[in-house]
Structure 1
Amino acid sequence: MAKIQALGGVFFKTADPDSLAAWYQQHLGLGVAEDYCGANFSPSQYPQGGFTLWSLFPKDSTYFAEDFIVNFIVDDVAGALVQVKLGDATDIKGPVLDPCGSFGWFTDPAGHRVELWQPPTDN
């Protein structure tokens, strides 16, 4: 049987891809390659304790209201939330600490809900 080996990508539809890519570059340092309008996350770039998670939630979950949410690993959740606020992100929440690390949330200028995760450093 063929098996999934890794997460291959996350794709958003947006009215102005260049503008939204520039926003992520400016406010979260996301390096977007012009030749394919994307950012490559190699496993070797993950911080200690970082990983990609695929998870299903019950339809009535209140963890997020959308059908899906994107989670980015960051090196400083609190700092990233300040940066996105300066970039006019909305509905900012966090940071919230739990045994899995530190989390924060925001809505980007195109209306996409995003979760930020800083893995715990004691792994």
Structure 2
Amino acid sequence: MKKVTGIGGILFKSKDPNAMNEWYKTHLGLETTPYGTSFEWRESEDPNKKGLTQWAPFSETTKYFEPSEKDFMINYRVDNLEALVEELKKENVTILDAIETYDYGKFIHILDLEGNKIQLWEPID
């Protein structure tokens, strides 16, 4: 089973997310919104399928990255989240919550070996 298929997003803490968005917009040309920006790309195996990678600054006081003490969280794209979660449970990986489904995909959070919170995302293409 192929597990991770790519990077879905880079999420990080910032003293002033709005100023950070504006700086990247002004100096590097990112088309930012209050949620950061999405980079659109095409899958190499099927160029008709689009993918997204999210870049998003969060407030430095966010609790969203807890229980990790790091200032960042990586979102990984996966193919079959339910099957992967079952496999991770058997491997005693710490799973922080239940799978949540939105109109743009399914999500769950886990911890890696050093306690970094990781977001797994099965996109709905």
Q: Does the alignment reach a TM-score above 0.5?
A: yes
Match of 1:93 in 2: 97
Cα RMSD of the aligned pairs, angstroms, is 2.9
Q: How many residues of Structure 1 are paired with residues of Structure 2 in the alignment?
A: 85
**Is 2:93 the partner of 1:75?**
no
The residue that corresponds to 1:55 in the other structure is 56
Give unpaired runs (5+ residues) of structure 2.
6-41
Provide the rounded CA distance (Å) in 2 between the counterparts of 1:108 and 1:98.
24
How far apart in 1 are the matches of 2:2 and 2:111?
13
Alignment of 1:1-123 (within 5 A): 29=3, 43-44=43-44, 48-65=49-66, 66-121=70-125
- Partners of 1:79 and 1:110 lie apart in 2 by 24
Normalized against structure 2, the TM-score is what? 0.55
The percentage of counterpart residues that share the same residue type is 26
In the alignment, is the contact (CA less than 8 A) between 1:85 and 1:92 conserved in 2? no
- Structure 1 gap ranges (5+): 1-26, 32-41
Q: Which structure dedicates a bigger proportion of its chain to strand?
A: 2
1:83 is paired with a residue whose SS is helix
Give, in angstroms, the shift of residue 43 of structure 1: 4.8
> Which structure is richer in relative contact order (CA contacts within 8 A, separation 6 or more)?
2
- If the length of structure 1 is used for normalisation, what is the TM-score? 0.55
